[in-house]
Amino acid sequence: MSFDVICFDCDSTLSKIEGIDELASRVGMGAEIAKLTDAAMNGEFSLEAVYDRRLSLIKPDKASIDWVADLYIAEIVAGVKEVFSTLLAQGKTVHIISGGLRQAILPFATYLGIPEDHVHAVDVYFDAAGAYAGFDQTSPLAKTGGKAIVVAGLKTTAPLVMIGDGKTDLEAKQAGAYVIGFGGVADRDIVRENADFYSTDPSLLFVLEHIL
């Protein structure tokens, strides 16, 4: 199949990390928060049931967001740079749709050649001293079903594909997207069973033969 609009999840898809889990580890809460993240990605809890709880416990400040932004790039999944270069060279429209924190993902998107308005994620807020001051609780991406809302909002009649590792990525099917499940970092049964195509290849290069 050939797609004109290609959407990617970020955490455990473009980068090997789960950003919020890394922020949790930085403050000594890694194991506790990772369990909540994994449960949400496996469909055991709704995303909204864990989103505010995780950030309220971690309270990530601006310095930690900058730190995890660098980590996204350092832990890039094999093949991602080549995939993005190929898609952009062919004039494809590429978006990143993530339940992660937008300010942490933006530098990674810039590194991959993606403009800011093609990055859909959850804004985090800081006070004048750079301390955590909350997040955008109106964002659909902090709630179950959010990726379907964002995909529908792209308002395209062109064939669209969503590539990701978690249950939230499967939601794009509700908006008519074709879903490719990526298990090269996190192999999840629910995605393996419900994606239109699934691969555990550790490199993302495999997607090119399925989307071009």
Active site residues: 9, 11
| DSSP, residue by residue, 113-133 | T--GGGEEEE-EEE-TTS-EE
The half-sphere exposure of 179 on its side-chain side, counting CA atoms within 13 A, is: 27
Residue 101: name the closest of 84, 120, 80 by CA: 120
